[in-house]
Amino acid sequence: MQSNKELQLLVEKAKRFSKDGKVADYIPALGKEDGNDLAITIYKTDNSYFHAGNFEKKFTLQSISKVLSLALVLMDRGEDYVFQKVGMEPTGDPFNSIAKLETLKPSKPLNPMINAGALAVTNMIKGKDLTEKWERLIQFVRALANDQQITYNEEVARSEFETAHLNRALCFFMKQNNIIEGDVESLIDLYTKQCAIEMNCYDLARIGAVFALNGFDPDSGERLIPEHIVRICKTFMVTCGMYNASGEFAIKVGVPAKSGVSGGIFAVVPNRYGIGIFGPALDEKGNSIAGLKLLEMLANEFEFSIF
Please give the annotated binding residues for substrate, written as ranges: 63, 115, 160, 167, 191, 243, 261
Residue 200 in the binding site for ligand GLU (CB under 6 A): no
Q: Does residue 26 have an active-site annotation?
A: no
Q: How far apart are CA 283 and CA 243, in angstroms?
A: 11
Which amino acid appears at position 280 of this protein? P
Residue 96 in the binding site for ligand GLU (CB under 6 A): yes
Catalytic residue among 191, 230, 238, 268: 191
Among 41, 62, 91, 287, binds ligand GLU (CB under 6 A): 62
Chain positions 236 to 275 lying near ligand GLU, rule: CB under 6 A, are 260-261
Do the beta carbons of residue 162 and residue 92 sit within 8 Å? no
In the beta sheet, which residues pair with residue 198? 60, 151
Q: Does residue 191 have an active-site annotation?
A: yes
Q: How far apart are CA 131 and CA 11, in angstroms?
A: 40
Smallest separation (angstroms) from ligand GLU to the CB of 60 = 8
Q: Does residue 11 have an active-site annotation?
A: no
Smallest separation (angstroms) from ligand GLU to the CB of 27 = 6
Catalytic residue among 100, 243, 246, 269: 243
Q: Does residue 66 have an active-site annotation?
A: yes
The alpha-helical segments, DSSP class H, found in the chain are 4-15, 65-77, 79-85, 99-103, 115-122, 130-145, 154-163, 165-176, 184-195, 201-212, 227-240, 246-252, 289-302
CB of 82 or CB of 119, closer to ligand GLU: 119
Q: How far apart are CA 125 and CA 190, in angstroms?
A: 10
Q: Does residue 273 have an active-site annotation?
A: no
Positions that interact with ligand GLU (CB under 6 A): 62-63, 95-96, 115, 160, 167, 195, 260-261, 286
